Amino acid sequence: METALDQLLSAALTDLETIPDAKALESARVKYLGKKGSLAALAAGMRDVPADQKKSVGQKLNDVRSAITARLEAARTNLQAAADSHALDGIDSSLPGRTAFTGGLHPLTLILDEAVSVLRRLGFAVAEGPEIETEFHCFDALNTPEDHPARNEKDTFYFETGELLRTHTSSVQIRTMETAEDTPLRIIAPGSAFRRDEIDATHLSSFNQLEGLYVDEKVTLADLKGTLEYFFHCLFGKATEIRFRPHFFPFTEPSYEIDIRLEAKGKQPKWIEIAGCGIVDPAVFEAVCQSRGDHLFDPERVTGFAFGMGLERLAMIRWGISDIRLLIENDIRFLKQFA
C-alpha cells in the first residue's frame, strides 16, 4: 500500500508538471482526487491494512492528498499568470495612459460665473425676469417713448398679444422694484435678450446680457464709477484702462457708455464699448411708484445707478474671440480650448 502511494505521488507530480491548460488541469484533478480517482481507489484498500499499520498508512494517504492538492493549486496559479501576461502581449504598459475627456464649461458660462461672483461680493443678488415681456416692463416703465427706435417692429420680436421677446434685461429692473419689500436694493440680472438683428461676426439675434441696479438713499455717480471700475478690473486685470463716455439712454440721466482700452499684441490699441450705465432717471422711479401704488421708490427719497452689458462681448474681449458666432456653433475644436 505504501509503495503504491509513493508511486501514485511521483506519477502525479510528473504529470502535473506539464499541464497545458485549464481543461487538462481539471481532468488531472478528477484523475487523482476525484471520487473515482486513483487516490480514492487506494483509500478503499485501507480496510485490508493490518490494524497496527492503519495509523501510519492513513497518515501517508493524507500527506499524498495534500501534496497533490498543493501541486494542482500551483499549476492553476501558473496557468493564470501565463494567461495574464499573454493578455498584455503587444501592450507597452510604460506608455502614459489616455485621460478620459471630462468636458468643460462654455466660455459664456465661465465669464458669467466670474462676473456674478465679483458682483455678489459687492452685495448684489441675482434676480430674474421673464423672456416674454410686456411693453410696459420693457419700454414704458423704462421711460422709453412710443417712437423710440428700440420699439420698432423691424427691430423687435412682437407677439400678437402685444407682448414681445425682451430686447434687453433692463425690464428686470422694473420687475424687481415692483416686488421689492424695502430699499436698499442691489440686483444683477443675467439673461437672454432678443433683437431682429442680421447675424454677423458681432451680432446675434438671441444673446445674453448682464443687468445691474442699485437703489438706495444718496446713491451717486461716484458709487457707479467705483463699482464698475472695480468690476472690470477684476474681469480684465487691474492695468486695464476704462473710460466713461457721455451717452443717452432713456432710463438713465446722466448716461454713459463704458469703453475699455484694448492692447492686443502687435496691434494699435483701441477703445471698445463694453457697457451702458447711468443714474436711474426719476421718471423710472415714478413709473414704479405708480405700478406699486406706494412711495417706496419715491424719487425724492431714493436715487440709483443701473448698468447693462453683453456677456458675449465680455467673453470675446476676455479671450480674444474674433467672431461671436463661435459662441453658438458648438464646435468642439473651439470649446475644447476652455475645458
For ligand DAH, the binding residues (CB under 6 A) are 168, 170, 211, 249, 252, 276-278, 306-308
Contact 279, 252 (CB under 8 A): yes
Residue 211 or 312: the one with the smaller Cβ distance to ligand DAH is 211
> Is the CB of residue 201 less than 8 Å from the CB of residue 324?
yes
CA nearest neighbour of 299 among 124, 143, 151: 143
Grid look-up 484523475 returns 31
What is the smallest separation between the CB atom of 276 and ligand DAH, expressed in angstroms? 3
Shortest Cβ 91–ligand DAH spacing (Å): 59
Residue closer to ligand DAH by CB (options 306, 317) is 306
**CA gap 258, 75 in Å, rounded:** 80
State the sign of the Cα–Cα–Cα–Cα dihedral 283, 284, 287, 292: negative
CB of 278 to ligand DAH, least distance (A): 5
* Residues written for the chain: 339
Distance CA 71, CA 14 (A): 10
What distance in Å separates the CA atoms of residue 225 and residue 130, rounded to the nearest whole number?
29
Closest listed residue to residue 72, CA positions, set 26, 11, 6: 26
Could you list the beta-strand ranges (E) of the chain: 125-126, 132-133, 164-165, 185-194, 206-216, 242-249, 252-262, 270-280, 303-310
Q: Which lies closer to ligand DAH via its Cβ, residue 32 or residue 232? A: 232
| C-alpha to C-alpha distance for 236 and 247, rounded to whole angstroms | 23
Q: Which residue lies nearer to ligand DAH by CB, 149 or 320?
A: 149
Residue whose CB is less far from ligand DAH, 12 or 219: 219
Name which of 34 and 254 has its Cβ closer to ligand DAH: 254
Closest separation in Å from C-beta 211 to ligand DAH: 6
Q: Is 156 helix (H, G, I), strand (E, B) or coil?
A: coil
In angstroms, give the least distance from the CB of 337 to ligand DAH.
Answer: 29
Q: Is 104 helix (H, G, I), strand (E, B) or coil?
A: coil
Q: Is 201 helix (H, G, I), strand (E, B) or coil?
A: coil
Closest CB 199 distance from ligand DAH, rounded Å: 17
Minimum CB distance to ligand DAH smaller for 38 or for 252:
252
Q: Which is nearer to ligand DAH, 285 or 307 (CB)?
A: 307
Distance of closest approach, residue 335 Cβ to ligand DAH, in angstroms: 27
User: From the CB of 170, what's the least distance to ligand DAH, in Å?
Assistant: 4
